[in-house]
């Protein structure tokens, strides 16, 4: 009888997400593909963000740019969190430079929700899935393809506010005053996010991250009541797909145990918490990701090195730490700092 083909070796980032031992600590950066890279700025001279996302070859190229320049262990899909909202739900979304997503008709009533379309990812965002397939073919197998989606609360915040907000007062007013309408919207959005991520995994994403950028504006009590059910539904649904999931949010020092309860194989930590203390809170049965302050990369290298070393020491040598920033790369970050940081993490 012939020999069986050897099982493919999984990327170190995937193995770390499963809390397996790895030869070196994996590292990637949120927003690593973007304005910090000159080659990306050159692409943006010709194309806006949505246009890039709708051209799989170009989108794959932008996704791979930081892998080549920085030597990171993951290629995170270049996309905007509003893609499934715009193309899957049929919501009129404009990406306004210097502002962010702007919704022409913010949600106020049940009729606004009922007007939303219900299209599958294959129908609405085939270009996203094709980009993932291209990445799997073209990337070194040692580099993980990371898919992602915005979380229901963050998407709801944009849909209700109509534009980015810091306080989310209109969102909270609807949440408190019309809980049935809120539940309907969160159910609709959790369906959207789950289907979107499952389609990404089927297309070849090896890890998926759920970004809840703005949920830190909620109290623990409100998170449990108004957000936890939707997040639990998403992460429970993702388990059947087999790819590890990362649950990331900002401003979450007070809800880490609730995030753990909601689900996710990896809990992403922002820079406002000590990684060691946060890992104890989350529990060592979960992997963690993070959590250097992105602003630190604007400073001199000795400061960056000291901060990175402290993050690594806080991890305590336990398997299951993925090095990242505590939020996205800032546009003015020197590329050489990202390169040097990647090399430092790999060597430490």
Question: Which two structure tokens, joined as six digits, stand for 90?
Answer: 């049929």
Distance CA 320, CA 162 (A): 38
Catalytic position from the list 18, 80, 133, 191: 80
Whether residue 158 lies in the annotated active site? yes
CB 151, CB 212: distance < 8 Å: yes
Whether residue 112 lies in the annotated active site? no
Q: Which of 264, 194, 251, 174 is nearest to 220 (CA)?
A: 251
Q: What value does the CA radius of gyration of the chain take, rounded to a whole number of Å? A: 19
Give 86-116 as a DSSP string: IIIS---EEEETTTEEEESS---SHHHHHTS
Degrees to nearest 5, angle at CA 312 with 223 and 76: 60
Catalytic position from the list 15, 69, 73, 158: 158
Whether residue 3 lies in the annotated active site? no
Residue 246's beta-bridge partner residues? 209, 266
Distance CA 82, CA 98 (A): 16
| Tokens 């979107």, residue located | 196
Whether residue 188 lies in the annotated active site? no
Whether residue 35 lies in the annotated active site? yes
Catalytic position from the list 15, 19, 25, 31: 31
Catalytic position from the list 18, 44, 119, 136: 44
Cα separation of the two ends of the chain: 45
Catalytic position from the list 18, 35, 260, 340: 35
Residues serving a catalytic function are 31, 35, 44, 80, 158
């Amino acid at each position: 009888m012939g020999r069986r083909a050897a099982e493919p070796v999984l990327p170190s980032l995937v193995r770390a997400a499963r809390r397996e031992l790895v030869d070196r600590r994996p590292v990637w950066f949120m927003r690593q593909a973007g304005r910090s890279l000159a080659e990306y700025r050159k692409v943006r001279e010709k194309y806006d963000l949505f246009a890039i996302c709708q051209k799989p070859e170009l989108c794959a190229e932008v996704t791979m740019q930081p892998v080549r320049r920085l030597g990171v262990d993951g290629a995170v899909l270049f996309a905007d969190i509003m893609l499934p909202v715009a193309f899957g739900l049929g919501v009129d979304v404009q990406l306004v430079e210097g502002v962010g997503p702007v919704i022409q008709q913010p949600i106020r009533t049940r009729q606004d929700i009922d007007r939303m379309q219900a299209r599958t990812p294959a129908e609405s965002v085939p270009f996203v899935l094709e980009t993932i397939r291209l990445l799997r073919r073209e990337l070194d197998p040692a580099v993980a393809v990371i898919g992602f989606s915005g979380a229901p609360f963050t998407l709801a915040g944009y849909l209700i506010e109509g534009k980015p907000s810091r306080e989310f007062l209109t969102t909270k007013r609807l949440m408190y005053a019309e809980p049935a309408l809120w539940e309907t919207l969160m159910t609709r959005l959790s369906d959207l996010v789950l289907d979107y991520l499952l389609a990404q995994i089927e297309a070849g994403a090896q890890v998926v991250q759920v970004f809840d950028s703005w949920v830190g504006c909620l109290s623990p009590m409100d998170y449990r009541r108004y957000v936890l059910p939707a997040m639990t539904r998403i992460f429970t649904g993702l388990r059947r797909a087999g790819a590890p999931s990362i649950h990331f949010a900002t401003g979450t020092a007070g809800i880490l145990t609730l995030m753990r309860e909601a689900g996710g194989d990896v809990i992403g930590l922002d820079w406002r918490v000590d990684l060691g203390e946060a890992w104890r809170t989350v529990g060592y049965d979960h992997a963690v990701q993070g959590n250097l302050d992105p602003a630190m990369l604007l400073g001199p290298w000795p400061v960056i090195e000291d901060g990175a070393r402290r993050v690594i020491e806080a991890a305590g040598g336990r398997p299951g730490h993925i090095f990242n920033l505590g939020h996205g790369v800032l546009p003015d970050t020197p590329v050489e700092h990202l390169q040097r940081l990647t090399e430092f993490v790999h060597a430490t």
